[in-house]
């Protein structure tokens, strides 16, 4: 398979890159200065694209690669892949479901605890030497146990978040496109109503045209000055401008954010806020899981080129 | 008429039994002096007097029957000897290491703490410190906010920034399966961890595997969580041998008391990479924290504040007042010390 051309959309994982280089004819898109020229020159060689949450295969790229057979995403979210175009052209698409569910859910809970219990602020307080100088300001830390958690999207990740939060005696409410039968969690038919009925709101749904800016001014107002937003979905789920002004003005109680509208750009207004915890898009970011995800990408590509059933196809 | 009224009130107040406070409890800073107030007792505030403590006690506290202590105000045998009428020592903490329990027993003095009112908050902090440690939450937050660059991420190395270690499937060893330890176990169970424990005695109703010594527990887990109290037996219980058994991939979380861990040894292990990381709410000489730790990204540090939530302060104020009122009405206390296993 060393002659098969694979285009890697952006840097994502050393092990994956090395393995793709070893097994295929790997093209690293980010090292190319004139991308249009490059695509013209290589269009008959590239049969696969490996993308992730940052860069995938949009309509333009798919159109530029007439020999494209498969897009294998190093992510579970497929918002960077033009699925309609892929279906149209018969291009297969795979992602990495299940293997990252636990890590993303763990991070969601970690962010909740970090925001409510001011973990990062406390750590900074000790590191700066302030603890030695005087009493710790005994303010603003809130108990996590028993707080109502509202989950947007009760798929694999949403359910995993619910399961963990339940161990802290948190009542679980949710919003989903359709109500799920036989669940002990309480369903709300709109995000605004969900936000009015929880202390901590978690975004755990896929990014689509419908869910873009699903967290808007109205939802933020409903969540309120004691409410906390946790985003482990995609940056564009949240109207970031509205979020920033709400946090700066104290109209929202706090936020734990792993994703942003224009990564790697993070709004600077958030840097000085102790009720905000910021992560560099590492929901699935553990050594173990990234390796498992990489193996799944490689496994899907090999299966495809050996005419075997794909491991985790979406189309 | 007014004079009589005033005189009556003063007399009433004079009749109220007194509770001795050595130092202002942390609650006073946050909620003001009235947060433990009651119309059934009043406080005698030792710090308001210019007299040194022993003189103050000899002069003013001879008939005082109750002491309200907090961690920063130890109750020693010497102090107790200066207060012949004391029958109750109430502490705002769950920990009892600042009270001379043996002396209290000898004199038949009841000791009451605030029970399990904040066990959940402490358990939540243990889990929070653990996830923070494994997933580099505080390290990433300070990097994104451009405070400090994580040392393991080389310039331009986007691959390793914030990449941590998976929690699910890890083996958790809980040292001390009391109310706090049990709550920690319940939480981490939901994350897919396997739980085992060491305690003074095995718990028959618990299905988690029991290890009779801490070293063996450490050898069989990836994450060691200290949830026990500080006693003569547990002092420096987490020593070189235990940390060595825990190993290079192991991490330790301490929400008990600093002196349970041989801190010098812990620091050495962390600096030399003999254990992978630590999450610490407590230290041997608070508020001093070994300066080597301040420079490490594989530690998460917390200024002994596991119980500092609004809810806990409110709950324990209520409990303290109820216990003191019960004491002075000769009713049973809501919480007394229970001899934990």
- Pairwise CA distance, residues A189 & B151, whole Å: 46
- Among A212-216, B118-122, B128-132, B172-176, name the one with the lowest average pLDDT: B118-122
Q: Which helix (H) or strand (E) holds A81?
A: none
| Neighbouring residues of B205: CB distance < 8 A, sequence distance ≥ 6 | none
User: Nearest by CB to B145, which of A168, A169, A278?
Assistant: A278
Q: Which residues of A touch B191 (CB under 8 A)?
A: 102, 106, 109, 164, 167
Q: Is A54 on the interface with B (CB under 8 A)?
A: no
What is the set of active-site residues of B? 257, 286, 304
The closest CB to that of B131, out of A11, A113, A270, belongs to A113
Confidence of residue B148 (pLDDT cuts 50, 70, 90): low
Instruction: Indicate yes or no: CB of A167 within 8 angstroms of CB of B310.
Output: no
3-class secondary-structure state, position B79: helix
Contact at CB, B294 and A135, closer than 8 angstroms: no
Strands A276-278 and B88-91, how do they pair?
Answer: unpaired
Whether residue B303 and residue A277 make contact (CB cut-off 8 A), yes or no, is no
Mean pLDDT value across residues B129-138: 97
Arithmetic mean of pLDDT, B63-85: 92
pLDDT at A78: 97
The pLDDT of residue B71: 73
Q: How far is B51 from chain A (nearest CA, A)?
A: 25
What is the structure's pLDDT at B30? 78
In chain A, what residues touch B143 (CB-CB under 8 Å)?
280
Using alpha carbons only, what angle is made at residue B333 by residues B82 and B43, rounded to the nearest 5 degrees?
A: 45
Q: Looking at the partner chain, which of A11, A114, A144 has a beta carbon nearest the beta carbon of B137? A: A114
| Cβ distance of A119 and B189 shorter than 8 Å | no
**Contact residues on chain B for A131, CB-CB shorter than 8 A:** 286-287, 289, 303
Q: How many CB atoms lie within 10 A of CB B13?
A: 10
Q: Which positions ≥6 away from A103 have C-beta within 8 Å?
A: A283, A284, A285, A286, A289, B166, B167, B168
Taking contacts as CB-CB distances below 8 angstroms, the residues of chain A near B311 are 142-143
Q: Which has the closest alpha carbon to A6: A51, A65, A58, A47?
A: A47
Say what the pTM is.
Answer: 0.90
- The reported pLDDT for the residue numbered B116 is 79
pLDDT tier, B145 (very low <50, low <70, confident <90, very high otherwise): very high
Residues A263-302 have pLDDT tens digits of 989 999 999 999 999 999 999 999 999 999 999 999 999 9
Residue A234 annotated as catalytic: yes
Average pLDDT, chain B: 89
Which band of pLDDT confidence, cut at 50, 70 and 90, is reported for residue B157? Answer: very low
* Best to test chain B binding among A28, A100, A106 (most B CBs inside 10 Å): A106
Domains of chain B, by residue range, sit at 13-117+310-328, 119-301
CB proximity list for A25: less than 8 A, separation 6 or greater: A2, A3, A4, A5, A6, A45
Distance, CA of B227 to CA of A138 (rounded, Å):
23
Q: What CATH class is the domain B13-117+310-328?
A: alpha beta
Model pLDDT for residues B183-202, shown as the tens digit of each residue: 999 999 999 999 999 999 99
Count of all residues that appear for chain B in the document? 341
What pLDDT shows up at residue B160?
63
Q: What is the CA radius of gyration of chain A?
A: 21
Q: Is the pLDDT reported for residue B307 higher than 80?
A: yes
Q: CA B56, CA B243: separation in Å to the nearest integer?
A: 46
Q: Which of B128, B143, B164 has its CB closest to that of A117?
A: B128
Q: What is the pLDDT of residue B28?
A: 85
Q: How far does CA A215 lie from the centroid of its chain?
A: 15
Q: Do A106 and B168 make contact, defined as CB atoms within 8 angstroms?
A: yes
How confident is the model over B36-61, as pLDDT tens digits?
999 999 999 999 999 999 999 999 99
Q: What is the dotted CATH code of the domain comprising B119-301? A: 3.40.50.720
Residue-level pLDDT at B32? 85
Considering only the beta carbons, identify the residue of B120, B144, B305 that sits closest to A278.
B144
Q: Is the pLDDT of residue B159 over 60?
A: no
Percent of the residues in chain B that have a pLDDT greater than 70, as a whole number: 90
A127 and B301 within 8 Å at the Cβ level: the answer is yes
Domains B13-117+310-328 and B119-301 fall in the same CATH topology: yes
Cβ-defined contact of A143 to B144 (cutoff 8 Å): no
Q: What is the mean pLDDT of residues A33-52?
A: 97
List alpha helices for B67-146, DSSP H.
77-81, 101-107, 119-135, 137-144
Backbone angles phi, psi at A167, to 5 degrees: -70, -15
User: Are B159 and A11 inside 8 Å of each other by CB?
Assistant: yes
For A288, name the nearest residue in chain B, comparing CA atoms only.
B166
Record the tokens describing residue A120, joined without a space: 């990062």
| pLDDT above 90: percentage of residues in chain A | 96
Q: In Å, how far is B302's CA from the nearest CA of chain A?
A: 5
Measured in angstroms, the CA of B79 and the nearest CA of chain A are apart by 25
Residue pair A228/A116 in contact by the 8 Å Cβ criterion: yes
What is residue B93's predicted lDDT score, i.e. its pLDDT? 81
Tens digits of residue pLDDT in A98-144: 999 999 999 999 999 999 999 999 999 999 999 988 766 656 699 99
Q: ipTM of this complex > 0.90?
A: yes
Cβ contact (<8 Å) for A138 and B163?
A: no
The pLDDT tens digits of the residues spanning A189-241 come to 999 999 999 999 999 999 999 999 999 999 999 999 999 999 999 999 999 99
**Mean pLDDT confidence for A134-160:** 88
Res. B8: pLDDT tops 90: no
Q: In terms of pLDDT, which residue wins out, A48 or B310?
A: A48
For residue range A61-93, list pLDDT tens digits in order.
999 999 999 999 999 999 999 999 999 999 999
Asked if A155 and A141 touch (Cβ cutoff 8 Å), the reply is no
Task: Please tell me the distance in Å from A108's CA to the nearest CA on chain B.
Answer: 10
Of A205, A147, A149, give the one whose Cα is nearest residue A178.
A205
A9 has a pLDDT exceeding 50: yes
How far apart are the C-alpha atoms of A197 and A223, rounded to whole Å? 8
CA A89 to chain centre: 27
Q: Which of residues 89-118 of A touch B (CB under 8 A)?
A: 102-103, 106-107, 109-111, 113-114, 117
CA distance B30 to chain A (A): 6
CA–CA separation, B226 and B173 (whole Å): 9
* Nearest CA-CA distance, residue A207 and chain B, Å: 23
* Biggest CA pair distance of chain A: 68
pLDDT over threshold 90, residue B263: yes
What 3-state DSSP class applies to B301? Answer: strand
pLDDT at position A183 over 80? yes
Provide the shortest C-alpha distance from residue B108 to chain A (in Å). Answer: 35
| Contact in structure between A112 and A200 (CB atoms under 8 Å) | yes
How is B179-210 classified by DSSP, letter by letter?
Answer: HHHHHHHHHHHTTT-EEEEE-SS--TT--S-B
Closest CA to B125 of B205, B225, B48: B225
Taking contacts as CB-CB distances below 8 angstroms, the residues of chain B near A11 are: 158-159
3-state helix, strand, coil in chain B (%, to 5): 35, 15, 50
* A282/B161 touch (CB, cutoff 8 Å), yes or no: yes
Give the residue-averaged pLDDT of B314-332.
92
Tell me which chain B residue has its CA closest to the CA of residue A290. Answer: B163
């Amino acid at each position: 398979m060393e002659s098969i051309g694979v285009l890697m959309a952006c840097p994502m994982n050393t092990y994956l890159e090395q393995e793709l280089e070893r097994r295929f004819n790997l093209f690293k898109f980010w090292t190319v200065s004139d991308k249009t020229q490059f695509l013209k020159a290589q269009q008959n060689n590239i049969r696969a694209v490996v993308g992730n949450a940052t860069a995938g295969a949009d309509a333009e790229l798919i159109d530029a690669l007439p020999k494209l057979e498969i897009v294998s995403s190093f992510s579970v979210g497929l918002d960077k892949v033009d699925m309609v175009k892929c279906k149209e052209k018969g291009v297969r698409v795979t992602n990495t479901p299940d293997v990252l569910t636990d890590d993303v859910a763990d991070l969601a809970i970690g962010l909740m605890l970090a925001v409510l219990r001011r973990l990062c602020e406390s750590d900074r307080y000790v590191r700066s030497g302030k603890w030695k100088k005087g009493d710790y300001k005994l303010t603003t830390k809130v108990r996590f146990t028993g707080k109502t958690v509202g989950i947007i999207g009760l798929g694999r990740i949403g359910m995993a978040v619910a399961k963990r939060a339940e161990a802290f005696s948190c009542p679980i409410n949710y919003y989903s496109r359709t109500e799920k039968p036989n669940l002990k969690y309480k369903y709300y038919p709109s995000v605004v109503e969900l936000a009015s009925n929880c202390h901590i709101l978690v975004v755990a749904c896929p990014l689509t045209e419908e869910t873009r800016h699903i967290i808007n001014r109205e939802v933020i107002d409903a969540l309120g000055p004691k409410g906390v937003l946790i985003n482990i979905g995609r940056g564009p789920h949240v109207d970031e401008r509205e979020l920033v002004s709400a946090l700066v003005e104290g109209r929202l109680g706090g936020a734990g954010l792993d994703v942003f509208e224009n990564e790697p750009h993070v709004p600077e207004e958030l840097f000085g806020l102790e009720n905000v915890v910021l992560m560099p898009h590492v929901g699935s970011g553990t050594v173990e899981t990234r390796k498992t995800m990489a193996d799944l990408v490689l496994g899907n590509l090999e299966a495809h080129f050996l005419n075997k059933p794909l491991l985790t196809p979406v189309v | 008429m007014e004079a009589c009224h005033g005189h009556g009130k003063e007399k009433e107040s004079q009749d109220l039994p007194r509770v001795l406070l050595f130092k202002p409890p942390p609650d006073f800073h946050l909620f003001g002096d009235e947060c433990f107030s009651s119309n059934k007792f009043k406080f005698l505030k030792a710090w308001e007097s210019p007299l040194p403590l022993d003189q103050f006690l000899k002069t003013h506290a001879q008939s005082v029957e109750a002491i309200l202590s907090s961690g920063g105000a130890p109750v020693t045998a010497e102090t107790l000897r200066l207060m012949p009428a004391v029958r109750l020592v109430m502490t705002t903490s769950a920990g009892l290491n600042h009270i001379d329990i043996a002396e209290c027993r000898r004199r038949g003095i009841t000791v009451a703490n605030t029970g399990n009112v904040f066990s959940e908050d402490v358990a939540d902090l243990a889990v929070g410190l653990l996830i923070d440690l494994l997933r580099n939450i505080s390290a990433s937050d300070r990097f994104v906010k451009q405070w400090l660059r994580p040392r393991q991420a080389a310039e331009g190395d986007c691959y390793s920034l914030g990449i941590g270690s998976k929690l699910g499937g890890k083996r958790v060893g809980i040292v001390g399966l009391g109310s706090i330890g049990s709550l920690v176990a319940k939480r981490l169970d939901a994350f897919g961890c396997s739980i085992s424990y060491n305690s003074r005695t095995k718990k028959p109703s618990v299905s988690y595997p029991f290890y009779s010594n801490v070293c063996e527990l450490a050898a069989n887990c990836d994450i060691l969580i200290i949830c026990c109290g500080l006693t003569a037996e547990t002092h420096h219980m987490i020593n070189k041998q235990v940390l060595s058994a825990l190993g290079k991939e192991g991490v330790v979380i301490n929400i008990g008391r600093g002196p349970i861990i041989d801190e010098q040894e812990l620091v050495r292990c962390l600096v030399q990479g003999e254990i992978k990381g630590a999450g610490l709410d407590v230290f041997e000489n608070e508020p001093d924290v070994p300066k080597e730790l301040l420079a490490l990204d594989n530690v998460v540090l917390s200024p002994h504040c596991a119980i500092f939530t609004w809810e806990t302060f409110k709950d324990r104020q209520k409990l303290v007042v109820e216990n003191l009122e019960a004491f002075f009405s000769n009713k049973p206390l809501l919480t007394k010390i229970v001899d934990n296993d």
